Amino acid sequence: MPTTPATPAHSSSNATADAIMLELVDEDGTTIGTAEKLAAHQAPGQLHRAFSVFLFDEQGRLLLQRRALGKYHSPGVWSNTCCGHPYPGEAPFAAAARRTYEELGVSPSLLAAAGTVRYNHPDPVSGLVEQEFNHLYVGMVQERLRPDGEEVGETAFVTAGELAERHAAAPFSAWFMTVLDAARPAIRELTGSSAGW
């Protein structure tokens, strides 16, 4: 399983100085307001719009990232290729493409919608809560990664079997399996049945 350490490359938008606003939604995903990012994640959590990206290489391996240790939420754990929140009024697809470039320094060669999933995942370590209406995207990456070290600790391309081994041995984000399972039909369509997803 090739693993690549990240180095600082781009400016970070990891909410520290400036307040980042999120879009609050109802159970149908309709916008009902905004909230500051940290406040939206404090227990019991406010339902907000999010996105999750799953990118694959030409061999059908999933690109994982280990979140940087400086992240305020779920630092140092493995997760999907990229995840985040659209700014209020920003299309989720545009946000997914933007954050993939900001975090990993690549633009997907293909990015397609893969449905939505709603979940409530408390993080036992930080006490923060993920109450999210999550837009899922799957795609391909063919460029060399240039991760932003303030966002990404390291990256790895893994097969389905390698992911199972890694997931059993290392901490992953609380939301990872929920978003992966919801995206599986689109992932199988993208990678083919032989990839094992």
Q: Which residues are catalytic?
A: 83, 132
DSSP, collapsed to helix, strand or coil, labels residue 42 as strand
CA quadruple 117, 69, 13, 126: dihedral sign:
positive
Degrees to nearest 5, angle at CA 180 with 136 and 104: 65
Cα Dmax for the chain = 46
Reference 14, options 172, 173, 153, 121; nearest CA is 153
DSSP strand pairing (48-56 vs 129-140): parallel
Burial class (CB in 10 A: 0-12, 13-18, 19+), 168: exposed
d(CA 139, CA 55): 5
Reference 37, options 52, 50, 53; nearest CA is 50
